[in-house]
Chains A and B, each alone.
Chain A
């Protein structure tokens, strides 16, 4: 089992759609959780941290379920500029473990 697994992509959605990405992790001792965004041929950038109580940043909502070892990211009212690859990232020990990413393409 891979350490961090994500929904296979790509997700193709129209502007204004709501889209959700899921992620599972294998190590129950993992301490911290993040979503990073990576534009095509660019470097990853932190989108948001994920807290146990769930957290929201504008149109983006992240949820964590430690019991199920499951993380999600919800994007509401998708914009063209949201087109990117979304990487689920888990901190285990001192290292960040990245998932393969899920590609989102938002079209007009």
Chain B
């Protein structure tokens, strides 16, 4: 079974530029998550989708971050404009159903460096 796919794997941009990340979850998984992992810290949830609806976006800096999951399958996360402190690994995860205690399967992440 194919895992969670993410692209690009690496991205370097200058501050104030915009960037977008793409995630394709495991086929049939209902719930999709975006996390931000800053070096030396654990992942922090940014947004959670169930199918194509938002369940939790309380930690998403909505002045610069946006995310969508059209058709309830793949998802994009955008940052506009980027700041230095956005340098991190952006992890996408998916889980089969809608229960929050289900195992989450993570993708390899996109490493973002903002200069």
Q: In which size bucket is the chain B interface?
A: 10 to 19
Contact call A46/B104, Cβ cutoff below 8 A: yes
- The contact string, 1 if C-beta is below 8 Å from chain B, for chain A 80-102, is 00000001010101111111110
What's the Cα separation between A93 and B55 when bound, in Å? 11
Tell which of A44, A46, A97, A101 has the most Cβ of chain B within 10 Å: A44
- The contact string, 1 if C-beta is below 8 Å from chain B, for chain A 38-59, is 0000111110000000000000
What's the Cα separation between A89 and B104 when bound, in Å? 12
**B40, B48, B91, B101: which contacts A100 (Cβ < 8 A)?**
B40
Contact partners of B48 in chain A: CB under 8 A = 94-95
**Given A31-B101, A91-B100, also A98-B108 (CB < 8 A):** no
Size of the chain A interface, CB-CB below 8 angstroms: 20
What's the Cα separation between A95 and B103 when bound, in Å? 12
What residue in chain B is nearest A103 (Cβ atoms)?
B40
Contact partners of B40 in chain A: CB under 8 A = 100
Q: Which of B69-115 contact A (CB under 8 A)?
A: 91, 100-101, 103-104, 106-109
What's the Cα separation between A4 and B45 when bound, in Å? 14
Tell me the minimal C-beta distance from B57 to chain A in angstroms.
11
**18 chain-A/chain-B pairs, Cβ below 8 angstroms:** A32-B101, A43-B91, A43-B106, A46-B104, A87-B43, A89-B42, A94-B48, A95-B45, A95-B48, A95-B56, A95-B100, A96-B45, A96-B100, A100-B40, A100-B41, A100-B42, A101-B41, A101-B42
**B residues in contact (CB < 8 Å) with A:** 40-45, 48, 55-56, 91, 100-101, 103-104, 106-109
